[in-house]
A and B are shown apart, each in its own frame.
Chain A
C-alpha cells in the first residue's frame, strides 16, 4: 500500500513550504549588516547578552523552585481540595507575561494598589519600583512556572510505588527519597519544562519592553522601528536564535548518559500521604503561594482597574475585538492541526526513510522566537514581492504586509510542534495494524484516515486544537509584526494601551484575554485529568 513517488513528493513539498522562513532569513543574513549595526554592537549587544543570561538563570531558577515544590506537594500528599489546587496551578500560564508585568506595576508600584491599601488601613505597606530586571524575573517566573510544574507533576505521579517502597525499606527518609530518587528521575521532564520556560523568556517582548529592559527581542523591534534598520534587526534575530540554540544545548548537556526509565511497575502508582499539623500548613503555603501571586492577586488587580472605568461602549468594542481574536485563533488552530495531520500521514505513507524524518525539522519553529519569525517573513517577503512585481507584474504586497494569510502561515510555522507531537504520540500508540486491516478490507488511504484513524485520534486532535488556540490568543511579538491592518486582537490592544500607560483601558481586553484563555485551560486540564482517570480506572 505504499507508493514512493506521490507521498514522498507531497511530504517534501510541505516541508519546503514550512522551511520558507529559514530561506527568507538566510537570504536576509546574506544581504549584509544594516547601517546601525556598529551602533548596536557598541552600545547594546553586551546589554542584550547579559540581560538575557540574567533573565534565563533567574526565571529558570525561580520557575523550578515554584513548579517543582508545588508538583511534589500535589503528587505526594493528600490535601483537602487537592484536585482543584492541581488545576489552578496551571492557570497562571493563562496570563500572558506582558499582562502580568502591567499588573505587578499596578499592584506594587509607587501609588499602586498596595500603597492605596496601606493608606486605607493606616499602615505603611512596602511598595516600590519593580520595573527593573529583578522585577522582570519575578513576573516572568510567576507567569511561566506552570511549564515546570506540569512536567514535574507528570513525572512524580508516574513513578512506580515499588521505587518509593524500596527506598523506604532501605531506610531512606522522605527528604532523601526526594533528593536522591524522585528529583533526579524527574530531571528529563523538568529539563523539558525548563526549556519551554527559557524559550518563552527569549520570546518575551511586551514585559521586557514595558520594564525598559534591553533584550535581544526588544532590540529587534528597536532596530526595526526606532532605528529604521530592518537589516540589523535580521542580524539581531540571527544572534537570538544562536543564543536559543546555545541555551538548548547547555540544558540538554545536563542530562548525561543515564537512563531514567524504570522497568519496575509493581505496586501501581505511589499512594499519597495524609499530612497533619505544621507539615499540612507548609504544604498549603507551597501550593498557595504561586496561586495567590500568580493568579488570584493579578485577577483582583485587573478587576480593580476594570470596574471603576467600566462603560458599555468600550465593553462592546472589546467584545468585537474578542470575536476577531477568537476567529484568528480558530483559523490558526484548524490550519495548524490540518498541517500536522498532513505532515504526519504523508510521511507515514511514503516509503523513503529519510523523508519520514523530515517532519521533525518542520516542528522546530516552537523553539524560534516569534520576533525572529516575523522579521524573517517580513524581510524575506520583500524579495518575493519585488520579484513577483518585476518579473510578472503581480502585486502581492498585501499578502506579505498586513494580510491575514501571512499571519496564519506564521502561526502554523510557530505552533506546529504543539499540534504535531500529541497527534504523533497517539498515532504511534495506535500502530499500523488497524489501518492495514482496513486496507485488506478494501479501504483506501483517505477512507481509512477518515473512518478509522482520525476518529481514534479525536482526543489528540482536540487537545492539539485547544493548545494551538490558547497559544495563538496569547502570542504578541509575531502578531505585532505581521498583524493585518483591519484586524485587532486582544493581545495587541492590551499591549498598545499599556504601552501608552493607559492601564484602565488595557485592563478590559487583558481581563477578557485572561478569562478566555483561563477558561479554556481550566476545561482542558479538567478534561485531561478526567480522561486519564477514566483510562487508569
Chain B
C-alpha cells in the first residue's frame, strides 16, 4: 500500500522515504513516505513499538531522520543537508501526558509560546477549549480532561501550521473521551488546521479522522481516507490488503464490520 509521493498543490506535509534507527540496531521507522493535504485530520494507528511516536517526533524535529526528507508547506525541514529546529517548523505538539509546566498557572502555560501574550488572546484560547475563568488555576488543580484542553490551548496559541497529538485520549475515561473527541475535531476544523494524532483505539480514528495511517513494525502499511474505508465493499484492493497484512489491519476490518452491524467473517465471506 506504500505509494510514491510527489508534492502537489495543497500538500502541507510531504515525507519521502524516511528511516530512523535507535542505538544503531532498533529500526523504529523503515523508509516511510506520506503526503498529507492541508486541512485534513489524520489518525495513526498501530501496535506499541510500531513507530507511531517516532513518526511524530521526526515531523516535530525532536529527532533527526537517518535518511529521507520531510517538507512542511513546501519548505524542506529535514533532509540530508537540512535540519530546521523544532521552534522554526510551525508545528505544535500535545504530548501524551500533556507536559504542562506544573509551577505555572493555566494562563502562563498558554502564554508561554506567545511572543507578545495578551489577556485577550489567552481568554480567546480558553474560551475555545471551554475553560473560561481557569486562568489562575495550577495544573494540579485540574482534572485530566481539563489538563488536556489547557495543553491543546497552549499548543494552539502560537498558531501552528501542523498540529501533532500523541495519544490525546489515552488518559481519559470513556465518558469524557467521546465528548473531547468531537470537541477536538470541531476546534481543528474551525481553525482549518492540519492535524495528525496517534491512537490505540480504532474507534477514535474512525469517529473523527479524515484519513488513517497504519504502521506495522516501522513500516507505513496503509494510508487511506475514511471515505475509502466506509465504502470498503467497493474497494476490493484495500480490503484484500487489510485482510492480508497483519493483525492490526484485520482488526480494522473487524471494527468496520462491527460498526456496520456485520462481523468480520461476513466481510471475509463477501470478499470470497
Contacts and interface: CB of A to CB of B under 8 A. Distances in A.
Nearest to B141: A259
Nearest to B139: A259
Contacts of A163: 99, 101
B64 to A, nearest CB: 12
Interface-centre pick from A163, A165, A166, A258 (highest chain B CB count, 10 A) = A166
A176 to B, nearest CB: 9
B102 A259 contact: yes
A167 interface: yes
Contacts of B104: 180
B134 interface: no
Interface string B94-132: 011111111110000000110100000000000000000
Interface-centre pick from B102, B140, B154, B157 (highest chain A CB count, 10 A) = B102
A181 B101 contact: yes
A266 B97 contact: yes
Contact of B62 (A165, A187, A257, A265): A165
Contact of B93 (A166, A185, A262, A265): A166
Interface stretch (B84-92, B179-187, B246-254): B84-92
Nearest to A165: B62
A254 interface: no
A184 B112 CA distance: 14
Contact of B87 (A171, A261, A267): A171
Contacts of A264: 95, 97-100
B145 interface: no
Nearest to B151: A166
B97 A180 contact: no
B54 to A, nearest CB: 11
Contacts of B86: 165, 168-169
B103 A169 contact: no
Nearest to A184: B103
B109 to A, nearest CB: 9
B32 interface: no
A281 interface: no
A171 B158 contact: yes
Interface residues of B, number: 29
Contacts of B62: 165, 168-169, 267
A330 interface: no
Contacts of A160: 99
Contacts, number: 89
Interface in A380-430: none
B60 interface: yes
Interface residues of A, number: 27
Interface string A144-172: 00000000000000001011011111111
B167 to A, nearest CB: 9
B138 A170 contact: no
B71 interface: no
A265 to B, nearest CB: 6
B138 A162 contact: no
Contacts of A258: 102-103, 138
20 contacts: A162-B97, A163-B99, A163-B101, A166-B101, A167-B112, A169-B62, A169-B113, A169-B155, A170-B112, A170-B155, A170-B157, A172-B87, A184-B103, A185-B102, A262-B99, A262-B100, A262-B101, A263-B102, A265-B97, A266-B95
Interface of B: 60, 62, 85-87, 91-93, 95-104, 112-113, 115, 138-140, 154-155, 157-158, 166
Interface of A: 160, 162-163, 165-172, 180-181, 184-185, 187, 257-267
Given A162-B96, A166-B95, 16 more contacts: A162-B97, A165-B62, A165-B95, A166-B154, A167-B112, A168-B85, A169-B92, A171-B87, A171-B113, A181-B101, A184-B103, A185-B103, A262-B101, A264-B98, A264-B100, A265-B97
Closest 10 CB pairs of A and B: A170-B113, A162-B99, A264-B97, A259-B140, A264-B99, A171-B87, A166-B99, A162-B95, A266-B96, A258-B103
